[in-house]
Structure 1
Amino acid sequence: MRIRLFQVEDTDQLNQIAVEAFSQFEHHYSDWQSLITAVGNMANLAQSAHLFVAEDDGKIVGGVALVPPNDNPNSHFDKTWTAIRMLVVSPEYRGKGIGKALTHTCLDHAKQSDVKTIGLHTSPIMEVALAMYQRMGFEKFKDIDPIFGVEYGVYKLEL
């Protein structure tokens, strides 16, 4: 498995993995169709973020976006923070450290860019991801308004 920058040829695979990764949460969201439409366009994040993919033997198995400071349209984050968005791993590849490796790629990239704080938002329903982020040192910064009926919080890590 290797992590590399997204290429336009990865679009369909990455978008499909994002949908597959979020599908386990379908019954939690009040407007699943709107959420999954946005999630299913994950590759569009490459227009405003560094988009990394995990590749195993030529197959995309995960991805994550790292939004630079001042470019994040999400008002949940301070403009000086960089932000991790849409960490996804194919369900059949979970438990192999891919999410952690993708997150470390984001942290390393942020450190090289002299960013002082990295943020993300996640939900308690995403138990595995939330526990991983907390083990990595992310601390809850604040609660935010629910997204399609699901509780979310902003977490940050000082680099």
Structure 2
Amino acid sequence: MEEDQHQIRHAYLEEYEGASLVASQAYQCLEVIYPPGLWPSVQKMISDAAQLKGGGELLIAITHEGISGLVVYHAPNSYKSEHLPHSWASLTILAVLPQYRRRGIGSKLIQTCLNIAKTDKTEVFGVLLNVQMTAAKTVFEGKGFVKNGYSRMISGQKHDQYCLTL
């Protein structure tokens, strides 16, 4: 596999811990936006989600060097979110290591989730985005997601809901 080739696939159980570390590293740049003392609990939430403690399917982008990115997909009616309708498919974590960003990996991970959602016969795919994550917003909007007016404060940060009708 060439350096820039990233295979997207479901993670093996023994890869969950490594994926959790990748998620923590990928989100580390956001530490400065959280109030002092809150980052450790946010980091634990990210790690728990990447290890599927809230359910879902862990998909990874992998190269010969290891895991470069990941996403946690939730099928419709499988994730009890207070922020998204249960009938929607959704994702809770999208993470790409800094050295692999701007190579289309996040877009490929999202597209894989959309493809799975279509086979799950869901009508709507939803996601909550931290308003600070402008690069992620651009990727989701490029895939046709639209902000639907729903916003929530989570861990002291504003998150907007985006959805895509499939």
TM range (shorter): over 0.9
- The one-letter code matched in structure 2 to 1:153 is D
Does residue 2 in structure 1 map to residue 3 in structure 2? no
Task: Quote the residue 2:165 is aligned against.
Answer: 158
Q: Which whole-Å deviations, capped at 9, do the CAs of 1:81-114 have from their partners, x for residues lacking one? A: 0111100001111111100000000001111121
Percent of aligned positions that are identical = 28
Task: Quote the residue 1:73 is aligned against.
Answer: 80
Residue among 29, 32, 39 paired with 2:34: 29
Does residue 103 in structure 1 map to residue 110 in structure 2? yes
Contact kept? 1:18, 1:42, Cα under 8 Å: no
Does residue 11 in structure 1 map to residue 19 in structure 2? no
Alignment of 1:56-135 (within 5 A): 56-57=63-64, 59-135=66-142
Q: How far apart, in 2, do the equivalents of 1:116 and 1:92 lie?
A: 34
Instruction: Give structure 1 stretches of 5+ with no counterpart.
Output: none
Instruction: Give structure 2 stretches of 5+ with no counterpart.
Output: 1-5
Q: How far apart, in 1, do the equivalents of 2:155 and 2:44 lie?
A: 13
| Structure 2 length-normalised TM | 0.90
Task: Quote the residue 2:3 is aligned against.
Answer: none
Task: Quote the residue 1:40 is aligned against.
Answer: 47
| Structure 1 length-normalised TM | 0.94
Alpha carbons of 1:127 and 1:37: their partners in 2 closer, same or farther (altered >3 Å)? same
Contact kept? 1:14, 1:42, Cα under 8 Å: no
3-state SS of paired residue (2:51): helix
Task: Quote the residue 1:51 is aligned against.
Answer: 58
CA root-mean-square deviation: 1.4
